[in-house]
Amino acid sequence: MTDELPEMRASDAEREQIAERLRDAMAEGRLDMAEFQERLDAAYTARTRGELVPLVRDLPSAGSAALPDRAGPERSWTGRVGKPATSRGGFAFWGGFSRRGTWTVGRTFTGVAVQAGGEIDLRDADFEDREIVIRCFALMGGIQVTVPPELHVEVTGFGLMGGFDDRGAGPGAPGSPVVRVTGFALMGGIGVERKRRKGEKKRLEKERQAGELEG
């Protein structure tokens, strides 16, 4: 979309086009979650083309930058969905459990921490299905769920004399699986956060530094 005819009314297709570019930019680390949500809301409420153009003026054009994969320059969800589950749950009592690295999360995963801690890291995980439900139950303990920025995440859990943090909830990149985190925290805490892989952080930092030198 260009700056031509800025007063022309925007169509639903044009709004969705801008939304897709914003999702790609968030997945690439060009926008943080707060800025992405602010721009996305503005895109869907825009009345004219002139209101849409500034939302992506400082971003690459569609298709000019691919999402980084854990083992290469492009990221594809195709090879990460539909694999046999390697774990469907974790339980800890006066101790801890951890699921991280390369593993396959089951269609339904249940994590229970009783006076203990649990870690569920999906940044390098594969998925048994395109829709995953992660049920977390913490009693005087805590469970941390870590997801990559490009994953679609919904959070519906609640806490009693404890907390259920939903700051990691939000839309993902096109084609990503849908992960629904639910459950209950009693005198404990459950957190959901978006976090990049270490290698990806270093790559983005190098790109930023290179851009500053060129500028």
What is the C-alpha to C-alpha distance for residues 115 and 188, in angstroms, rounded to an integer?
A: 8
What is the pLDDT, as a whole number, of residue 67? 41
- Can you spell out the DSSP letters for the chain? --SSSTTSBPPHHHHHHHHHHHHHHHHTTSS-HHHHHHHHHHHHH--BHHHHHHHHTTSPPTTSSPPPBTTBSS--SGGGBSPPPSEEEEEEESSEEEE-SS-EEEEEEEEEEESSEEEEE-TT-EESSSEEEEEEEEESSEEEEEE-TTSEEEE--EEESSEEE-TT-B--STT--EEEEEEEEESSEEEEEE---HHHHHHHHHHHHHHHHH-
Question: Quick one: pLDDT at residue 198?
Answer: 65
pLDDT tens for the chain, 215 residues long, are: 555 567 888 888 888 888 888 877 776 778 887 888 888 889 999 998 889 988 988 887 654 444 444 444 334 677 889 999 999 999 999 889 999 999 999 999 999 999 999 999 999 999 999 999 999 999 999 999 999 988 999 999 888 988 998 888 998 887 889 999 999 999 999 999 998 876 655 555 655 655 555 55
Provide the pLDDT for residue 8. Answer: 86
Provide the pLDDT for residue 202.
58
Full-prediction pTM beyond 0.85?
Answer: no
Predicted local confidence at residue 65, as pLDDT: 43
State both tokens at 25. Answer: 């930019």
Task: Write down the pLDDT at residue 7.
Answer: 81
For residue 22, the model assigns a pLDDT of 85
